[in-house]
Amino acid sequence: MTVEIRVQAVKPLRNTFGHIARRFGDKAASRYQEGTYDIQSEVNHHYKPLWDQERDLYDKRRTAVEMRDWYALKDPRQYYYGSWTIARAKQQDAVDRQMEFAEKRELLRSLPEAARKAIVFALVPLRHFEWGANTNMCMVSAYGWGTAVTQAASMATMDRLGMAQHISRLGLLVDGNLGDSLVQAKNYWTDHSDWQPLRREVENLMACRDWFEVILAQTLIADSLVYALFFNHFDSKFSAENGPGLSTVLDFLTRWHDESNKWVDAVVKPVVAESESNRAQLQAWADHWRTAFLSALSPIAQGIMGPIGRDTLAEINTKLGTRLVKLGLQDHGVAL
């Protein structure tokens, strides 16, 4: 790029930073590139963490998985803070319109009692599932290695909080802002027998401290099963019986999930492809957590879908198997 200053042309001396040029050549770089690659400190750390004296501050050993270059986990959405926030703000504008409409027309509040109860039982407790996901993605953002994956995890952390708050707003749409639905939903989450196995696995995952295992278990396994079951299948069943009001306010969640999946796939694939030992490790994790979450979802699947609950879950599980194969893993026919 040249520029005219008085009668002289001024050429830039270089087109980007040294570390970017070493990766991509000395040409103009994108904002995603300049904001992401090689930003995290890598060497010469000063002190042993008081909370983990066996490791360094940033330490590749916090996962069993190994990569020559953790920056291979680049985000296909190319989200740096600015592009992420602006994208979410745009999406949120649309959501606000949907929610205002739903509130003004009392789309949820005016449903028959059984339908309102079904929403509170089936969906509102997921605000806690989202809080668990927030906890897990926050762990990744804290202890992961390299700006590429940790910044995406940090954004995912805030996204999950956004989802949790959105689901909370659904409850308020049902109960007219009294908050009763939230109290009720929390009781279901903590005490209702249908919900306990899922809560158990969420807590088990919160206890896991291998950050890549957590990415896999949360975003690839648990989210695939949960989002399909509740926001796809339950929503379809509910709409068939009660009209499309609920679907309009679930739209945000399903769109977000579809977008997020692009990132998940882009992060898992290179790790699988890197080495046989990575592939074997991811396979083991995938099999373990798939079994755990499938079995954990069985009671609530039946609770919300009725007799077709088992088959619904089986169908979702088959789709997950297909996706695993696309990512380079095997579908070990894990079943209920």
Strand, helix or coil for residue 4? strand
Distances in whole angstroms, Cα of residue 55 to Cα of each of 38, 71, 146, 147, 217:
20, 21, 16, 19, 24
Which residues have C-beta within 8 Å of that of residue 210, sequence separation ≥ 6?
A: 62, 63, 64
Which residues have C-beta within 8 Å of that of residue 163, sequence separation ≥ 6?
A: 130, 133, 252, 253, 256
Find the shortest distance in angstroms from Cβ 49 to another protein.
4
When the beta carbons of 39 and 266 are compared against another protein, the nearer one is 39
Q: What six digits make up the tokens of 251? A: 């739209």
Find the shortest distance in angstroms from Cβ 108 to another protein.
10
CA atoms 45, 69, 85, 32: torsion sign: positive
Of residues 84, 66, 68, 71, the one with CA closest to residue 37? 71
Find the shortest distance in angstroms from Cβ 303 to another protein.
19
When the beta carbons of 89 and 240 are compared against another protein, the nearer one is 89
Find the shortest distance in angstroms from Cβ 261 to another protein.
20
When the beta carbons of 42 and 311 are compared against another protein, the nearer one is 42
Find the shortest distance in angstroms from Cβ 266 to another protein.
19
When the beta carbons of 31 and 319 are compared against another protein, the nearer one is 31
When the beta carbons of 64 and 158 are compared against another protein, the nearer one is 158
Instruction: Tell me if 145 sits within 8 A of 94, measured CB to CB.
Output: no
DSSP assignment of 147-195 equals HHHHHHHHHHHHHHHHHHHHHHHHHHHHHTTS-HHHHHHHHHHHH-TTT
307-320 burial by CB neighbour count: b if 16+ within 10 A, else e? eebeebbeebbeeb
Find the shortest distance in angstroms from Cβ 306 to another protein.
26
When the beta carbons of 55 and 279 are compared against another protein, the nearer one is 55
Q: What six digits make up the tokens of 260? A: 């997020």
Find the shortest distance in angstroms from Cβ 126 to another protein.
11
When the beta carbons of 169 and 233 are compared against another protein, the nearer one is 169
Which residues have C-beta within 8 Å of that of residue 303, sequence separation ≥ 6?
A: 121, 122, 194, 309
Q: What six digits make up the tokens of 229? A: 């079951």
